[in-house]
Amino acid sequence: MERDVTKMMYMELRQEWKRICDEARPRMAPKCKACAECDSARPKCNFVSSDRGRSGIRNYEKLQQIKLACDTIYEGGNGDEIDSSCDFFGEKMRAPVFNAPIAWVGNNLPNTHFVKPGVERVDGKATNSDDYAYSKALIDGCADVGSIGWVADSKHHPLVHFYEDGLRAIKERNGRGVPTIKSWDDEKLSNKIKQAEEAGAVAIACDIDCVGLGYMSINGKYDTLPGLSNPKSAKQLREIFSITSKPYILKGIMTPQGAVKACEAGAAGIVVSNHAGNNLDQSLATIEVLESIKRAVGNDIKVYIDGGFRHGEDVFKALAMGADGVLIGRPVMIAAEGGEAYGVSIYMQKIIWELQNAMRMTGCLSLKDITRDKIYITKEF
Ligand SMILES: Cc1cc2nc3c(=O)[nH]c(=O)nc-3n(C[C@H](O)[C@H](O)[C@H](O)COP(=O)(O)O)c2cc1C
């Protein structure tokens, strides 16, 4: 019988995570070294460093400059009295932590084990990648520990259908997942919204910052995505998304003005994100802009964030600064490669455990207790 990951002790979760990284490492190469602590900055880290990944490194570094305020003199706080649960557009979650969408496993990991039998590699790329199996690992692995998985969309190749593959995985999990559509031209975007609706997805996201992906350093060259649109106005976005009754989330917001425009566009949520530093070099870290964005929109819209979050304590920091939840990208890709759905569950449960422990050590019995005075921002920030 499969073990219930949510009942595992922390030491065991850590040991399993190390084993999963070891398993994934040879298959992540040459783009990723599957470091247990992914900081974007190790030499030859091909995902975001090189000469154009400084925003990705900054995401991680700025989070290290925030510290937690330990206080264990309070009433309550037995293990099961710590409640990190929350609501995500009507779906209950054990903690406000998601995976971040990363598409086309064969493109990002040329040596992935997610391959379709009998299909050859084309142009040196793993066009034979099995993006359905990869998406299923993300969606099921998250759902199994009470989280919600996000899947992505990317440039078109006649042999891969990762958007549809992701939707299939979501549909099979009764809609418990968020498809993230690229900002295509209006007609294509509308069609993809309809597909997401048909799959019963709990919410629909759009990574509007993908218009900058020409600078994706993972490819080491300028590589535009054919069919992608120019930036869209708030009015355009409102019209396009008016065809769905699903809540929709704009991913890639980095300014208070952008967040206000997302509200005008009718979005139910935003993700403060710089795409792991891939789309615009020399942008601020996401955690640096979080508070000003939250001040600008208040409670009008849900505010999620990603970029460099690696532990439950990091999630705690963002919650104390006003975020409603955190997405984690590259480590969850490593988790899927090294352990499929089980690997994703282990990683997500480790984060949830760390968040709950941070709450216990700071006197927070529920998420609403995680207030600004529970963290210190150090002088260097
Ligand atoms: C290799 C790679 C591919 C990505 N692909 C997508 C994508 O297809 N859609 C999307 O919305 N974001 C994409 N992202 C951005 C992630 O969703 C997320 O914003 C970022 O990875 C979070 O930072 P982290 O990896 O430091 O946790 C990608 C990031 C990486 C590193």
Q: What is the DSSP string of 66-129?
A: EEE-----SS---GGG-B--EEETTEEESSSEEEPP---HHHH-TT-S-B-TT---BTTB-TTB
| Angle at 297 (CA atoms; ends 294, 205), nearest 5 degrees | 90
Q: How far apart are CA 181 and CA 190, in angstroms?
A: 10
Q: How far apart are CA 133 and CA 166, in angstroms?
A: 9
Tokens of 197: 């609706």
Least confident range from 9-18, 38-47, 198-207: namely 38-47
Question: Of all protein residues, whose CA lies closest to atom 27 belonging to ligand 1?
Answer: 329
User: What was the pLDDT predicted at 127?
Assistant: 72
Question: Of all protein residues, whose CA lies closest to atom 19 belonging to ligand 1?
Answer: 275
Q: Over range 21-40, report the average pLDDT.
A: 88
Least confident range from 32-41, 300-309, 365-374: namely 32-41
Q: Which residue has the higher pLDDT, 47 or 13?
A: 13
Q: Is the pLDDT of residue 71 over 90?
A: yes
Tokens of 274: 């710089």
* Ligand 1 binding pocket mutation candidate from 102, 216, 253 (most atoms within 8 A of CB): 102
Please tell me the total number of residues recorded for the chain in this structure.
381
For the CA of 48, the closest atom of ligand 1 is: 31
Confirm or reject CATH 3.40.50.300 for domain 5-377, answering yes or no. Answer: no
**Within 13 Å and on the Cβ side, how many CA atoms surround 224?**
7
For the CA of 307, the closest atom of ligand 1 is: 23
Under a CB-based contact definition with an 8 Å cutoff, are residues 196 and 245 in contact?
no
Domain residue limits, the chain: 5-377
Cα(363) to ligand 1 centroid in Å equals: 33
Q: Containing H/E element for 39? A: none
Is-catalytic flag, 161?
Answer: no
* CA 30 and chain centroid, separation: 22
3-class SS letters over 329-362 = CHHHHHHHHHHHHHHHHHHHHHHHHHHHHHHHHC
User: 306 in ligand 1 pocket by Cβ < 6 Å?
Assistant: yes
For the CA of 251, the closest atom of ligand 1 is: 11
What is the tens place of the pLDDT at every residue in 162-221?
Answer: 899 999 999 999 999 999 998 888 888 999 999 999 999 999 999 999 876 654 333 333
Identity (one letter) of the amino acid at 184? W
Tokens of 269: 């949520």
Identify the three-state secondary structure at position 165. Answer: helix
User: 108 in ligand 1 pocket by Cβ < 6 Å?
Assistant: yes
What percent of the chain clears pLDDT 90, i.e. is strictly above it?
Answer: 70
- Show the beta-strand stretches assigned E in 286-337: 302-306, 325-328
Q: How far apart are CA 261 and CA 219, in angstroms?
A: 31
Give, in order, the Cα–Cα distances in Å from 270 to each of 23, 42, 74.
34, 30, 35
The β-bridge relationship of strands 204-207 and 248-253 is: parallel
* Ligand 1 binding pocket mutation candidate from 275, 304, 332 (most atoms within 8 A of CB): 275
User: What was the pLDDT predicted at 69?
Assistant: 98
Q: Over range 21-39, report the average pLDDT.
A: 88
* Distance between first and last Cα of the chain: 48
User: 275 in ligand 1 pocket by Cβ < 6 Å?
Assistant: yes
Q: Is the pLDDT of residue 1 over 60?
A: no
Cα(220) to ligand 1 centroid in Å equals: 16
What is the tens place of the pLDDT at every residue in 320-360?
Answer: 999 999 999 999 999 999 999 999 999 999 999 999 999 99
Mean of all residue pLDDT scores within the chain: 90
Cα(281) to ligand 1 centroid in Å equals: 15
User: 310 in ligand 1 pocket by Cβ < 6 Å?
Assistant: no
